[in-house]
Amino acid sequence: MSQAARSIQREVTPLSQGDCLLVFDRLKNQFDFPVHFHPEFELNFIQHAANAERIVGDHKSYIQEFELVFVGPNVFHGWNNGQCKSGQIHEITIQFHRDLIHESLLSRNMMKPIKELLQNASRGILFSENTSRQIAPRLEKLSQKNGMEAFIELMSVLHILSISENKRMLCQIAIDTTDFANSDRIKKVCEYIAQNYQEKIKVEEVAKLLNMTETTLSRLMKQRTGRSFIDFLNDYRIGFAARWLTETNQSIAEIAFRCGFYNISNFNRIFKKNKACTPGEYRINFSGIKKVS
């Protein structure tokens, strides 16, 4: 991974290992999330944001009124306001695990188009305006579904996209970020955090688990994720806090404790630093749907 790539933020999505997919359907007045990457696939539909700027890997361009882009695991991507003047941006984001569809299923003849779609996502795929318009109602339906119905609808959407015409690869070459995904040490860190994020976690405990010093662990995390260990851990916790703030009626204090923050003031400070608003403001201002299946 290049030095420039290491400076891009590694997003920690609120998808647990037991989840299949995450759907956001929301209205917003601006793009405020930095260029980032994550190990999940992401399908992003954007409407009413003409002249916003799209960044996917080595590609950069202004977008049209209808935007539909599919990116693979660890492909750098993001949108910024650019020259967009709209105050009613409609965005539907679908994220799912890279191993959601097993290789044994993808090897079947009928799955060949979807397999190619997933492979080509390593270059970022821009779909035509016609396809974007066609698929928009399906994505809105998907945001309303749960469980197996959501999974079946996702497979249907992927099939439609895989056979659609006038697809465009955005990156000149496939983005090679497999070193992140294939790092056994990073995997162990992620697994440990996933299993213990609700408890107090000390850097020395994780360093000992990997048979390395705290300094070496910190250097490894910075190189592979662009974040310190503590920031990475806090990102993971805040991801779940944001999810539960919009999905549950639990109090902010309950959610903070559930995410591993035992000091509410510290939780509020870190949440505001991460999301640019307080937990209470985030809950009130969230306009849209967030569902995990």
pLDDT over 80 at 63, yes or no: yes
CB 83 within 8 A of CB 113: no
The more confidently predicted of residues 164 and 32 is 164
Q: What are the DSSP calls for 177-223, one per residue?
A: -HHHHT-HHHHHHHHHHHHHTTS---HHHHHHHTTS-HHHHHHHHHH
pLDDT over 50 at 179, yes or no: no
Closest CA to 282 of 270, 291, 272, 290: 272
The more confidently predicted of residues 43 and 1 is 43
Question: Can you read off the two tokens belonging to residue 104?
Answer: 């044994």
pLDDT for 182 equals 46
pLDDT for 267 equals 95
Q: What is the pLDDT of residues 242-284, one digit of tens each?
A: 878 877 888 999 999 999 999 999 999 999 988 888 999 888 8
- 226, amino acid identity: G
In CATH, what number does 183-287 get? 1.10.10.60
Please give the angle made by the CA atoms of 106, 109 and 112, to the nearest 5 degrees: 55
pTM of the full structure: 0.74
Domain spans in the chain, listed from the N-terminal domain onward: 3-169, 183-287
Please give the angle made by the CA atoms of 262, 264 and 266, to the nearest 5 degrees: 85
pLDDT for 181 equals 44
In CATH, what number does 3-169 get? 2.60.120.10
pLDDT for 15 equals 81
Q: Collapse the DSSP code of 138 into the 3-class scheme (helix H, G, I; strand E, B; otherwise coil) and give the result.
A: helix
